[in-house]
Amino acid sequence: MSELAILDLTPDQALGFRFRVTTRHGGVSTGPFASLNLSPAVPDNQAAVQENRRRALAALGLTPQRLIGAEQTHGNGVAVVGPEDGGRGVLPDSPPVPGVDALLTAEPGLFLFVQVADCYPVAIFDTRRRAVGLAHCGWRGTLAGLPANIVRIMADTFGSRPDDLLVVIGPGIGPCCYEVGPDLAGQARAKLPDPDRAIHRRAERTFLDLPAAIIQQLRATGLPESRILNRASCTACNRTTFYSHRAAGGLTGRFWAVAGWAGP
C-alpha cells in the first residue's frame, strides 16, 4: 500500500494560511478509483470512500467539523460560511453548501475544500484581514466570471483590497492536454479580456489554457499579477499523482484541495 501524500502549496508570504492538495495515493479504493478517492459522488465503494476521507482528515490534522465543502455546480456562485457550517459535505446527513462553487470565511481554524479531477482549485488569501476563499474553477465557472466574482465578494464582505490578496492556482488539466472544440473556443473568445493568450492552436487542434483565463479575470479586478502564483501541475499528464476525468475517459476519483487560516 502506498503512503498517503499531501502536497503543500502554501506560499511563504501567507503566514498562518494553509493550502494543501491530496494525491491519489494512500487509500483503499480499487480499480479506476485507486486509491484515495475522496468523492462519494462517483460509483466507488462508499465504505472505501469513508475510510479514505478518514485517512485524509487525519493526515490534514482536521476533524470533520472543521471542514466545509461546496456543492460545485459549475457556476459562479459564492457563499460566506462560518462555524455553523462546519462539517457540511463531510458529516453524514450534512450536505455541502448548495448552489456554489466557491466558499469564503474569516473564521480561524475553519477550512474549506473542493473536489477536483481536472478543474482548478484556486485559493485566495487576504493576508491583511485574515480571510480566505477557495474556488472550483472549471471552464464553465471560469467563463461565467467565478474568479472575478470571488474577489468582488471578498471586497464587499471583508473589505479586501487587491494589493492584500494572494492567489494560488492548484493542479488542473493543462493547456498541453486540454483540447477543446470550436463552440467552447468561441465562448472563450467572447468572454475573456485577452483570448489569444488563453486559446492556442497546435497541429490544427485547439487548446484552452484555463490558468491563463483565470489570471486574466483576476487581473481585471485590479489584482497585481505578482500576487497570483500559478502552481498548477497538469492532472492529465500526471495521472500517477492526480485523478484526471478526461485522461481516464470519465471514470475516475476525485482529490481534495483544502484551504484555511490556522490562526495567529
Establish if 251 belongs to a structural domain.
yes
Establish if 148 belongs to a structural domain.
yes
Q: Find the helix or strand (DSSP H, E) in which 49 lies.
A: helix 46-60
Cα–Cα distance between 227 and 220 in angstroms, integer? 13
Rounded to the nearest angstrom, the gap between the alpha carbon of residue 112 and the centroid of all alpha carbons in its chain is 10
| CA distances for 222 relative to 167, 173, 217, 225, angstroms | 13, 26, 9, 9
Establish if 134 belongs to a structural domain.
yes
Establish if 196 belongs to a structural domain.
no
Cα–Cα distance between 76 and 164 in angstroms, integer? 23
Q: What CATH number should be reported for the domain holding residue 237? A: 3.60.140.10
The boundaries of the domain holding residue 44 are 6-172+224-261
Q: 14: pLDDT confidence band, cut at 50, 70 and 90?
A: confident
Q: How many domains does the chain have?
A: 1
Establish if 252 belongs to a structural domain.
yes
pLDDT for 182 beyond 90: yes
Establish if 206 belongs to a structural domain.
no
State the pLDDT at residue 263.
Answer: 75
pLDDT in tens, 85-107: 999 999 989 999 999 999 999 99
Establish if 35 belongs to a structural domain.
yes
Establish if 207 belongs to a structural domain.
no
Query: For 119, which DSSP code?
Result: S
Q: 34: pLDDT confidence band, cut at 50, 70 and 90?
A: very high
